Amino acid sequence: MKNKGIHHISIISGDPQVNADFYVKTLGLRLVLKTVNQDDPGTYHLFYANGEGAPGSSITFFPWPMAMQAKPGTGTVSAVSFTVPEGSCDYWIDRFAEQDVKFDTPITRFGKKVLPFYDTDGLKLELVEDEKSKNVPAWKGGTIPEIFSIRGFWGSNLHLTDYTATIDILQDVMDFKLTDESDSEILLTTQSDLGHSIIIEKAEDAKSGTNGRGYVHHIAFRAKDENDLKAMRQKVIELGLSPTQLIDRHVFMSVYFQTPGGVLFEIATDGPGYKSVAESEEEMGKKLFLPPWLEPRRDLIEQRLQPVTV
Ligand code: ZN
């Protein structure tokens, strides 16, 4: 179960430069892949991660500057949580106060200190102090001192009215175990250092969330390789759900399926990874990556995209 857990999380954002400034400059993540939305090649798909671009660390965005603000509700991912070393929250509170980042008072949840805050599109994020973060190297090129820096995901919160099927999927397909429960929340975990925790918030209100800026489009879970992906896809079918065929995203292979609770899930392979489409480790995220079928249209695509610099 060391290699199971969250792979990446993809979100709709507003302006791409504002988004890049927040995730790279304010939070200290690395832009590891700059590409286009394969379903809408006139817009970006930006991937931020830890220094290595490791599975379990990449938060990705589809920037649509004209998108309306998302509305919270049931059937959505209600928070995305990053893992930071123990004792880091005070540093981050000072940083957020200085940089006018909206944040809430820290809480303790399932024994962990949690600092909730919000990105430039109103997406709820959290920093969770976790001893496991020390097993993951800090990125030396980032803006944050290594002793406090984000190492990747801690996990994610799902706000669900109908959650039994989602628990079955997380346990039977993604290898999570139900490890703790309170009146309002259920914790499921894997043994991984990153992306190992899903919290299900038991929603009392049945009002659905709506798509827009700050909306989590999907959450992807890890498959070791293509054979593992095929086996996991088979388990999804056995649960009575309808996954897509395997889709080649060039940096990983993917399968998507809608869950009965309302959240779109993906399963993605650990490899080949973001480094595989860069000329070198240092060049990760610098040049716009296009899938081979869009490469002949590079000039036109680059002309239409507003430049994003980090
Ligand atoms: Zn994805």
3-state class of 29 per DSSP? coil
Q: Which of 152, 131, 135, 175 is nearest to 1 (CA)?
A: 175
| Helix segments in the chain, DSSP class H | 16-20, 89-98, 164-172, 226-238, 298-304
Task: Determine phi and psi for 136, rounding to 5 degrees.
Answer: -115, 130
| Rounded distance between C-alpha atoms, residue 109 and residue 112, angstroms | 5
Q: Is the full-model pTM beyond 0.95?
A: yes
Quote the strand ranges of the chain, DSSP E.
6-13, 30-37, 40-49, 58-63, 76-84, 107-109, 112-118, 124-129, 152-160, 177-181, 185-189, 197-202, 216-223, 247-248, 252-258, 264-272
Q: What is the pLDDT of residue 56?
A: 98
Closest CA to 294 of 249, 253, 255, 256: 249
| CA 171 / ligand 1 centre spacing (Å) | 20
Q: Is the dihedral of CA 52, 278, 223, 109 positive or negative?
A: positive
Q: What is residue 73's predicted lDDT score, i.e. its pLDDT?
A: 93
Give the per-residue pLDDT at 1. Answer: 61
- Of the CA atoms within 13 Å of residue 123, those in its CB half-sphere come to 31
Gap from CA of 59 to ligand 1 centroid (Å): 9
Query: What is the Cα–Cα distance from 110 to 112, expressed in whole angstroms?
Result: 6
Spatial distance between the Cα atoms of 218 and 238, rounded to a whole number of angstroms: 21
CA 256 to centroid of ligand 1, rounded, Å: 8
Cβ < 5 A residues, ion ligand 1: 10, 220, 266
The token pair at 160 is 């669900």
Domains of the chain: 6-304 (3.10.180.10)
Q: Which residues of 2-41 are buried (b: 16+ CB within 10 A; e: fewer)?
A: ebbbbbbbbbbbbbbebbbbbbbebbbbbbbbbbbeeeeb
The pLDDT, as a whole number, for residue 291 is 94
Q: For residue 120, how far is its CA from the centre of ligand 1 (angstroms)?
A: 21
Q: What would the DSSP string read from start to end of 153-189?
A: EEEEEEEESS-HHHHHHHHHTT--EEEEE-SSEEEEE
pLDDT per residue as tens, the chain (310 positions): 689 999 999 999 999 999 999 999 999 999 999 999 988 999 999 999 999 999 999 999 999 999 999 999 999 999 999 999 999 999 999 999 999 999 999 999 999 999 999 999 999 999 999 999 999 999 999 999 999 999 999 999 999 999 999 999 999 999 999 999 999 999 999 999 999 999 999 998 889 999 999 999 999 999 999 999 999 999 999 999 999 999 999 999 999 999 999 999 999 999 999 999 999 999 999 999 999 999 999 999 999 999 999 9
What is the Å distance from ligand 1's center to 122 Cα? 21
Q: What residue type is 180 in one-letter code? A: D
C-beta atoms surrounding 107 within 10 Å:
11
How far is ligand 1, taken at its centre, from the CA of residue 61, in Å?
Answer: 10
Rounded to the nearest whole angstrom, what is the distance from the C-alpha of residue 265 to the centroid of ligand 1? 8
